[in-house]
Amino acid sequence: MNKRHLIQSALSLALLASLSGSLLAQDKPLKIGVTAGPHAQIFEQVKKIAEKDGLKIQIVEFSDYIQPNAALAAGDLDANSYQHKPYLDQQVKDRSYKIVSVGYTVNFPIGIYSKKVKSLAELKEGARVGIPNDPTNGGRVLLVFQDKGLIKLKPDAGLKATPLDVIDNPKKIKFVEVDAAQLPRTLDDLDASAVNTNYALSAGLNPKDAIAQENAKSPYVNLLAVRDQDKDKPWVAKLVTAYHSDEIRKYIQTEFKGAVLAGF
Q: Backbone phi, then psi, for 100, in 5-degree steps?
A: -130, 160
Cα dihedral 67, 69, 72, 76 in deg (nearest 10): 0
262 three-class SS: strand
Residue-wise DSSP of 133-185: SSHHHHHHHHHHHHHTTS-EE-TT-GGG--GGGEEE-TT-PEEEEE-GGGGGG
Q: What is residue 257's predicted lDDT score, i.e. its pLDDT?
A: 83
Q: What is residue 218's predicted lDDT score, i.e. its pLDDT?
A: 76
119 three-class SS: coil
pTM above 0.75, yes or no: no
CA 29 to CA 62: how far, in whole Å?
A: 18
CA 133 to CA 226: how far, in whole Å?
A: 25
Let me know: does 226 contact 33? Beta carbons within 8 Å. Answer: no
Let me know: does 81 contact 221? Beta carbons within 8 Å. Answer: no
Mean pLDDT by 10 residues, the chain (264 residues): 49 44 60 95 98 97 96 98 94 97 93 97 97 91 95 93 97 97 97 93 91 82 97 98 98 90 91
**Domains in the chain, CATH or no CATH each:** 28-108+220-262 (3.40.190.10), 111-213 (3.40.190.10)
Q: What is residue 201's predicted lDDT score, i.e. its pLDDT?
A: 87
